[in-house]
Structures are given as C-alpha cells and as structure tokens.
C-alpha cells in the first residue's frame, strides 16, 4: 500500500543520551541499542472505523521513538501493517451492508490523512494483509512443514493452528498466568474452546474457506490467515529475524504479540524476536476504554473538521505518559491550545534566553521512557522565561522551534 506523506525533520545540534524504553517482557525500562538501522514494527489499524484518539495516542508514542532514534543518527526502518481482512471488518461491513474492501479502503485513506495531519512520520513499508497474502500463507506452510503447526482433526474445516509449546518460551513476552492468557485469548479474537487443539491457547494460522467469507487460494488450500501470523510474516520479510522494537497498545500484549513473537521464533530459531516489546496505555472516555466495539469514540477527523489544530491534539495526548491509561477530556484540548498560543508567542520573539539547556532537557526527559509530561513542563518553563524576561540570544527562538518540531513533532 502507499504510505502517507513525510515531513521534513530539522537537524538539531549536539546529541542526546540513548533512548531507554519500557519492555513488557522483562518488566523494566532498559536502554535501546539499535545498530545503524533501527528496526521497528508497530501494529497498524483494523480499518473498520475512523482513527480515534486512542489510536492516535499509540501512533504518536511510537512517532516519538522514531524521532528520538533519528535524532541519535539512526536510520529508522519502520514497518506498519493494516489488518484489512479480519472478522471485525467483515462483521461491520455486513452490519452496514457495505463492501468490506471498500470499507477498508475508505478507513485506511482517512487514517493516512489523520496521520499526515498529526505530522506522524510515515513507515517505510505500510503493508495490508491482503497484499501480503502470498507471504503469509507461505510462512504458515513452512511452520506446518517444520512441525510447529498442525491441522485440527475436523473433516469439514481442517484449520491450521500453531503449537504454542514448540518454542519453549511461550508466555515470556506477556508474563501472564494461564488463567489470564485464557481470558484474553477468548476476549481478543482467540478460540480457546475450539475442539481438537493441542492447547486451548494455540492460535489460528489458517482458516479454511467458509461459505460466504472471502478466501484466497494457496498451497494450504483456500482460506484466510489468522491475525498474529499476518504481523509475523510482514515483519520477518522486511525487518529480518530480530528487531529492535515491537510496539502497540497494551491490549496487544496478549495474545497478539506473544503469538506473533512465537511464530517468528519458531520459524527463525532466534529468541527473542524483539529486543523491546513496548506497549502504550489505553485512552478512555467516560470511564471506559475508547473502542470501536463500545462506540465511545472521539475521532481525529471529527476534531479536524471542527478546525482543531492537530498540534493541539498532539500536545493534549503527549501531556500524559504513554504507558498510563488515561481519559480524554475536552479540558485537555483547552490546556493544549493555551500551551500552543504561549509557545508560539515565545517562538515569535526576535530574541530570547538561550535554548540549549532546554534542548538538553527535552532530550533527557524523552530518552527516559518518553517522559513527555516533564518535557512539556520544561517547554512551558522556557516559554514563560522568554516571555517574561525576553533575552538577547537571536538564535534561541529558531532553536526552540526546531527542537519542538524535531523531537515532539509540534510545529509552531
Ligand atoms: N490491526 C490490529 C493490530 S495488528 C489492531 O489492533 N488494530 S486496532 O485498530 O484495533 O488498533 C490499532 C492500534 O491502536 C493498536 O496498537 C491498539 O492497541 C491501539 N488502540 C486501540 N484502542 C486504543 C485506545 N483506546 N487507547 C490507546 N491505544 C488504542
Ligand atoms: Zn499486529
């Protein structure tokens, strides 16, 4: 698929400390240590509804990772998928008497627009499950041939499942107990009750064609893929056997990232698949997680249509820490707008106090597991000082603008 338009990122003087990020598998904040190329896979949308502020918050968090790695001189190889075939998409299309292909295309187009408006740096590869169908079925075939996968004994629907015991590491990414894994599997698209599986937690790899459902021809027979193997195949084929970061919201910790990692590891023999598994908290509204199934959504596109400055949406979402579950309120947007006005006033001054120390602070706070709340407070402090006391450094307003642009993606 085509990705969205990129934006220029100003180069900043000097260098910051290495980026430290929380890793779910070890439960710790650890330094990231990419090579010249930093390899990042962030799970993309299932395009059956418009981008809401929960999605936006998640993609903004990984956009900061991208920006910080670039600031450290890495060439970031960023890959993102689009789950453009899955049960939720088919169910929504059926409910609305829509064509699932058209629905997916429409919502993906809107997502691109939203990401562009929010100045999120685009992935190098933006890959739909449908366009990757050949490589996904090929991976399933290889897992089957190696004994890491099996068919259930079902004459009508001999679906292919992954043997989760095969790597010897299953459970290392999420660290959940058996009961929690079973519950999340049932809640998040798995089928622990399906008869004939070796373990209730074994995830689906290939669903043989059913009447009335789309299917694709392959060596496995006609069918469509399970969810986790889609991301495993797309990531492996573009980023290789081990990546620096596998990211998404906390609702992807299990089963999605656990199973995707297990698929990759069973295929390559390389453990762990990702050096960091990093997860964002959930954005809620009115005390509930913002989700398409609950319908309590605030859409980025709706706010854009109301002429809300996308920079204010960015600031409002970055005002909370990416890992904390947090609520969206209109008050957050008011505060963000007030910040934007003040920061723009400071950036427009002919001269100001030096901004080098602010740049150091921004880099230090962001390198500390993306501590955006503290970064924004540091920006406030500099802007207040500049507006109250002015200053004599004629280059400072431009450095201030560039630092906010490059590191936070906020354009003043
Ligand atoms: N297509 C799959 C991933 S392969 C998927 O989960 N799609 S999604 O559209 O449901 O979600 C896209 C991303 O947004 C995921 O990383 C998900 O964890 C995140 N997300 C969904 N709801 C929220 C929310 N309320 N707050 C924060 N992030 C969210
Ligand atoms: Zn995914």
**Closest atom of ligand 1 to CA, residue 86:** 1
Q: What value does the mean pLDDT of the chain take?
A: 96
In the Cβ-directed half-sphere of 151, how many Cα atoms lie within 13 Å?
13
CA–CA distance, 95 with 232 (Å, rounded to integer): 30
| Nearest residue to 131 (alpha-carbon basis) of 101, 156, 158 | 101
State residue 206's pLDDT score. 98
Give the annotated binding-site residues. Answer: 43-46, 58, 81-83, 227, 231, 249-251, 256, 283
3-state helix, strand, coil in the chain (%, to 5): 45, 15, 40
- What's the CA-to-centroid distance between 43 and ligand 2, angstroms? 4
- pLDDT tens-digit readout, 92-130: 999 999 999 999 999 999 999 999 999 999 999 999 999
Contact indicator for 223, 206 with CB cutoff of 8 Å? yes
In the Cβ-directed half-sphere of 224, how many Cα atoms lie within 13 Å?
17
- Categorize the per-residue pLDDT at 308 as very low, low, confident or very high, splitting at 50, 70 and 90: very high
| Nearest residue to 245 (alpha-carbon basis) of 273, 286, 216 | 273
Is the shortest distance between the CB of 249 and ligand 1 below 6 Å? yes
- pLDDT tens-digit readout, 122-158: 999 999 999 999 999 999 999 999 999 999 999 999 9
pLDDT > 90 fraction of the chain, expressed in percent and rounded: 95
- What's the CA-to-centroid distance between 288 and ligand 1, angstroms? 15
282-285, long-range: CB within 8 Å, 24+ apart, which pairs? 282/54, 282/249, 282/250, 282/251, 282/325, 283/52, 283/53, 283/54, 283/57, 283/317, 283/325, 283/326, 283/327, 283/328, 284/325, 284/326, 284/327, 284/328, 285/327, 285/328
- 327: tokens are 């609520």
- pLDDT tens-digit readout, 309-328: 999 999 999 999 999 999 99
**Ligand that comes closest to the CA of residue 281:** 1
CA–CA distance, 128 with 353 (Å, rounded to integer): 48
- pLDDT tens-digit readout, 168-207: 999 999 999 999 999 999 999 999 999 999 999 999 999 9
- Can you name the residues that pair with 178 across neighbouring β-strands? none
Is the shortest distance between the CB of 55 and ligand 1 below 6 Å? yes
Give the annotated binding-site residues for L-cysteinyl-5'-AMP. Answer: 43-46, 58, 81-83, 227, 249-251, 283
**Closest atom of ligand 1 to CA, residue 82:** 1
- What's the CA-to-centroid distance between 28 and ligand 2, angstroms? 22
Query: Is the pLDDT confidence value at 389 over 90?
Result: no
Q: Mean pLDDT over residues 230-259, rounded?
A: 98
Is the shortest distance between the CB of 43 and ligand 1 below 6 Å? yes
**Ligand that comes closest to the CA of residue 88:** 1
CA–CA distance, 173 with 323 (Å, rounded to integer): 17
- How far is Cα of residue 33 from the mean position of the Cα atoms in its chain? 19
Is the shortest distance between the CB of 231 and ligand 1 below 6 Å? yes
State residue 49's pLDDT score. 87
Query: Is the pLDDT confidence value at 75 over 80?
Result: yes
Give the annotated binding-site residues for Zn(2+). Answer: 43, 231, 256
pLDDT > 70 fraction of the chain, expressed in percent and rounded: 100
Q: Mean pLDDT over residues 222-237, rounded?
A: 98
Query: Is the pLDDT confidence value at 291 over 90?
Result: no
Neighbour count for residue 178 (Cβ, 10 Å)? 11
- Categorize the per-residue pLDDT at 293 as very low, low, confident or very high, splitting at 50, 70 and 90: confident
- What's the CA-to-centroid distance between 52 and ligand 1, angstroms? 9
State residue 286's pLDDT score. 73
Is the shortest distance between the CB of 232 and ligand 1 below 6 Å? no
- 193: tokens are 């009750």
Q: Mean pLDDT over residues 354-360, rounded?
A: 98
State residue 223's pLDDT score. 98
Is the shortest distance between the CB of 252 and ligand 1 below 6 Å? yes
Query: Is the pLDDT confidence value at 290 over 90?
Result: no
Residue from 1, 53, 54 whose mutation best tests the ligand 1 pocket (most atoms within 8 A of CB): 54
Q: Mean pLDDT over residues 284-305, rounded?
A: 83
Q: Do the strands 223-225 and 204-208 form a parallel or antiparallel pair, or are they unpaired?
A: antiparallel
**Ligand that comes closest to the CA of residue 58:** 1
Q: Mean pLDDT over residues 279-307, rounded?
A: 86
Neighbour count for residue 95 (Cβ, 10 Å)? 9
| Nearest residue to 365 (alpha-carbon basis) of 14, 9, 63, 20 | 20
Helices (H), 72-190: 87-95, 100-117, 133-145, 178-187
State residue 287's pLDDT score. 74
Is the shortest distance between the CB of 280 and ligand 1 below 6 Å? yes
Residue in this structure with the two tokens 């193997």, named with its chain if needed: 229
What pTM was computed for the model? Answer: 0.97
Poorest-confidence range of 79-83, 89-93, 271-275, 382-386? 89-93
Q: What is the DSSP letter of 19?
A: P
State residue 390's pLDDT score. 82
Query: Is the pLDDT confidence value at 50 over 90?
Result: no
Q: Mean pLDDT over residues 292-316, rounded?
A: 91
Residue 24's φ and ψ, nearest 5 degrees, are -65, -35
Higher-confidence position of 294 and 118: 118
């Amino acid at each position: 698929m085509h990705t969205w338009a990129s934006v220029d990122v100003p180069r900043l003087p000097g260098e910051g400390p290495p980026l430290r990020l929380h890793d779910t598998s070890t439960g710790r904040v650890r330094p990231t240590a990419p090579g010249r190329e930093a390899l990042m896979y962030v799970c993309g949308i299932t395009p059956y509804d418009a981008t809401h502020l929960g999605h936006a918050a998640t993609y903004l968090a990984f956009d900061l990772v991208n920006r910080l790695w670039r600031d450290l001189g890495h060439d970031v190889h960023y890959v993102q998928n689009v789950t453009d075939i899955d049960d939720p998409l088919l169910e929504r299309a059926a409910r609305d008497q829509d064509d699932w292909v058209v629905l997916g295309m429409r919502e993906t187009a809107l997502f691109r627009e939203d990401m562009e408006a929010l100045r999120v740096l685009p992935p190098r590869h933006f890959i739909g499950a449908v366009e990757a169908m050949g490589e996904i079925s090929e991976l399933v075939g290889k897992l089957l041939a190696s004994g890491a996968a099996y068919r259930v004994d079902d004459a009508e629907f001999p679906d292919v499942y992954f043997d989760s015991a095969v790597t010897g590491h299953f459970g290392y990414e999420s660290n959940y107990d058996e009961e929690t894994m079973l519950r999340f599997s049932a809640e998040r698209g798995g089928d622990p009750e399906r008869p004939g599986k070796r373990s209730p937690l074994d995830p689906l790899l290939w669903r043989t064609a059913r009447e009335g459902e789309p299917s694709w021809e392959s060596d496995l027979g006609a069918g469509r893929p399970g969810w986790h193997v889609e991301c495993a195949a797309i990531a492996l084929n573009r980023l290789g056997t081990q990546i620096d970061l596998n990211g998404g919201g906390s609702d992807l910790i299990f089963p999605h990232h656990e199973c995707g990692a297990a698929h990759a590891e069973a295929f390559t023999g390389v453990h762990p698949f990702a050096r960091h598994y990093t997860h964002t908290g959930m954005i809620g509204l009115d005390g509930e997680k913002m989700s398409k199934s609950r319908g309590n959504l605030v859409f980025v596109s709706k706010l854009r249509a109301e002429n809300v400055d996308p920079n204010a949406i960015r600031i409002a979402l970055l005002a909370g820490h990416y890992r904390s579950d947090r609520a969206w309120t209109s008050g957050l947007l008011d505060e963000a707008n007030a910040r934007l006005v003040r920061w723009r006033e400071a950036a427009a001054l002919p001269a100001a106090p030096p901004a080098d120390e602010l740049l150091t602070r921004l880099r230090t706070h962001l390198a500390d597991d993306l501590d955006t709340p503290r970064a924004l407070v540091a920006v406030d402090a500099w802007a207040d000082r500049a507006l109250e006391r002015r200053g004599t450094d004629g280059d400072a307003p431009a450095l201030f603008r560039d630092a906010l642009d490059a590191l936070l993606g906020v354009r003043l």
